[in-house]
């Protein structure tokens, strides 16, 4: 006899059939905790720990010779990690480089490729993007002597949660020179149609870049096939690269050999870098857009993590992610419909990223009550609860237990023990 969907046995049966379940043992999971905040900071894996230890060992035993010797020679690590990342974004291996931070990479893209001329001088973005991207866009406009109030165009959301691609296309007017958009909206988890938006941008002779922070490691991409110009992302969320992990940059090969706007010696051709000439000879691939020496101890864990993702396969990860978020929403509909929770993430598979986004007037309090009961959520002001079931280490049973806990928090009004405002870090 088939168990009802909202039963514990149903969840356990889903876990038994899960072909990725063995990866859970690869992670350090906090004791007696259900960790659903992997879309803010992914958990440490044993492989990431091992690859960090390998780089430390090279430093310990080789000293400066670690640059060219050892298990992972430091001099080539950024390129090696870029090659390992390429399959996750659908890029050629030489189109990806692991370098800098997310915002630094955005600044590099804009400093190099945003070239306002005449009336074609505005940047198009959206009103739902992560603030750091908007700060960077405004500062780049100011560096060109342009006012953000007039030259940064932000597409409006119709519902406060999602964007309509046709609204974005309508905003691609003849004065737009550059577009920066998220692949997945960090609050609602909506996936934008990157292929369509890229095609429409190119019809109008506009360059386009995507922020992949909330899609990398969770959603497959085909950046080269879609002819996307540029992309940038962090590696510490779904990719489990660790807090402060070095970020990544994608440059379509059609843009290679454009001199970097922010030049630094690690963007040099590797065969010429140590000639120490004052004339720069940039690398002939995405490596040209590095600036300084790689932050090796912040990049090293990514080697172990990426090996695991390539083993699991991004298509398999996406399939499980969709199944987990769909199951989460079904349980919420069945068991929490009396408590004023609103599912604010897209519910169709093609538009949904890798997390659930619930809205509730008491969201901050509810998040604190969840955490007090060993379930780690993510609060987003003013009323948002983000819950990210990660395919490599979360289980269906954990989803079931989280919904039961939410029901208990509401029934027993456990949230009233807490103030309804965010902590310093939400």
| Active site amino acids | 130, 211, 236-237, 386
- 29 by DSSP, 3-state: which? coil
Is position 130 annotated in a ligand binding site?
yes
Instruction: For the chain, give the number of residues.
Output: 426
Under DSSP, the state recorded for 319 is H
| Three-class SS of 85-151 | HHHHHCCCHHHEEECCCHHHHHHHHHHHHCCCECCECEEEEECCCCHHHHHHHHHHHHHCCCCHHHH
**CA angle in degrees (0–180, nearest 5) for 91-94-100:** 95
Q: How far apart are CA 298 and CA 90, in angstroms?
A: 24
> 295: annotated binding-site residue?
no
Q: How many helices (H) and strands (E) does the chain have?
A: 13, 13
Binding residue per annotation — 260?
no
The SS3 call for residue 209 is: strand
Is 101 annotated for ligand binding? Answer: no
Phi, psi of 352 (to 5 degrees): -100, 130
| Residue 102 marked as a ligand binder | yes
Whether omega before 382 lies within 30 degrees of 0, making that bond cis, reads yes
DSSP annotation of 250 reads E
- DSSP category for residue 257: T
Sign of CA dihedral 141, 147, 149, 152: negative
Q: Which positions ≥6 away from 80 have C-beta within 8 Å? A: 72, 303
Query: Does 293 carry a binding-site annotation?
Result: yes
Count CA within 13 A, CB hemisphere, residue 280: 19
Residue 74 assigned ligand-binding role: no
Q: Is 265 annotated as a binding residue?
A: yes
Q: 55: alpha, beta or left, given left = phi > 0 and alpha = psi -120 to 50?
A: alpha
Full DSSP string of 174-187: TTEEEEEEESB-TT
Residue whose C-alpha is closest to residue 125's, from 97, 154, 150:
154
Element (H, E) at 411: helix 396-411
Per the annotation, does 135 bind a ligand? no
Cα 246 to Cα 97, 101, 200, 249: the distances in Å are 10, 6, 32, 10
To the question of whether residue 182 is assigned a binding role by annotation, the answer is no
Q: Is 328 annotated as a binding residue?
A: no
Binding site residues for pyridoxal 5'-phosphate, as ranges?
102-103, 130-133, 211, 214, 236, 265, 293
Binding site residues, as ranges?
102-103, 130-133, 211, 214, 236, 265, 293
């Amino acid at each position: 006899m088939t168990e009802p969907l909202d039963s514990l046995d149903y969840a356990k049966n889903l876990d038994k059939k899960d072909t990725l379940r063995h990866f859970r043992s690869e992670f350090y999971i906090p004791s007696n905790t259900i960790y659903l905040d992997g879309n803010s900071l992914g958990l440490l894996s044993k492989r990431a720990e091992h690859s960090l230890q390998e780089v430390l060992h090279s430093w310990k035993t080789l000293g400066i010779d670690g640059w060219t010797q050892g298990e992972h020679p430091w001099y080539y690590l950024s390129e090696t990690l870029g090659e390992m990342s390429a399959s996750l974004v659908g890029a050629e291996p030489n189109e990806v480089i692991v370098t800098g931070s997310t915002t630094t990479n955005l600044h590099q893209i804009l400093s190099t490729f945003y070239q306002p001329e005449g009336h074609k001088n505005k940047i198009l973005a959206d009103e739902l993007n992560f603030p750091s991207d908007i700060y960077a866009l405004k500062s780049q406009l100011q560096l060109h002597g342009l006012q953000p109030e007039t030259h940064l165009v932000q597409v409006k959301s119709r519902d406060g949660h999602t964007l309509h691609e046709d609204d974005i296309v309508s905003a691609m007017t003849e004065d737009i020179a550059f577009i920066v958009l998220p692949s997945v909206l960090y609050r609602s988890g909506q996936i934008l149609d990157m292929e369509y938006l890229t095609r429409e941008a190119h019809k109008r002779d506009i360059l386009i870049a995507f922020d992949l922070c909330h899609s990398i490691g969770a959603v497959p991409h085909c950046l080269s096939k879609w002819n996307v110009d540029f992309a940038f992302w962090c590696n510490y969320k779904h990719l489990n690269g660790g807090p402060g992990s070095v970020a990544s940059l994608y440059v379509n090969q059609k843009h290679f050999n454009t001199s970097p706007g922010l030049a630094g010696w690690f963007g040099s051709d590797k065969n010429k870098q140590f000639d120490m000439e004052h004339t720069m000879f940039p690398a002939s691939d995405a490596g040209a857009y590095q600036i300084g020496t790689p932050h090796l101890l912040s990049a090293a864990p990514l080697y172990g993590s990426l090996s695991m993702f390539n083993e699991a396969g991004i298509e398999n990860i996406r399939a499980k992610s969709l199944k987990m978020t769909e199951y989460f929403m079904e349980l919420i509909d069945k068991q929490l419909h009396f408590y004023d929770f609103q599912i604010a993430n897209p519910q169709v598979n093609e538009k949904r990223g890798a997390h659930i986004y619930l809205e509730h007037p008491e969201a901050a309090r509810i998040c604190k009550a969840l955490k007090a009961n060993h379930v780690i959520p993510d609060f987003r002001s003013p009323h948002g609860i983000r819950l990210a079931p990660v395919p490599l280490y979360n289980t269906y049973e954990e989803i079931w237990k989280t919904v039961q806990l939410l029901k208990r928090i509401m029934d027993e009004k456990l949230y009233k023990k807490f103030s309804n405002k965010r902590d310093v870090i939400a």
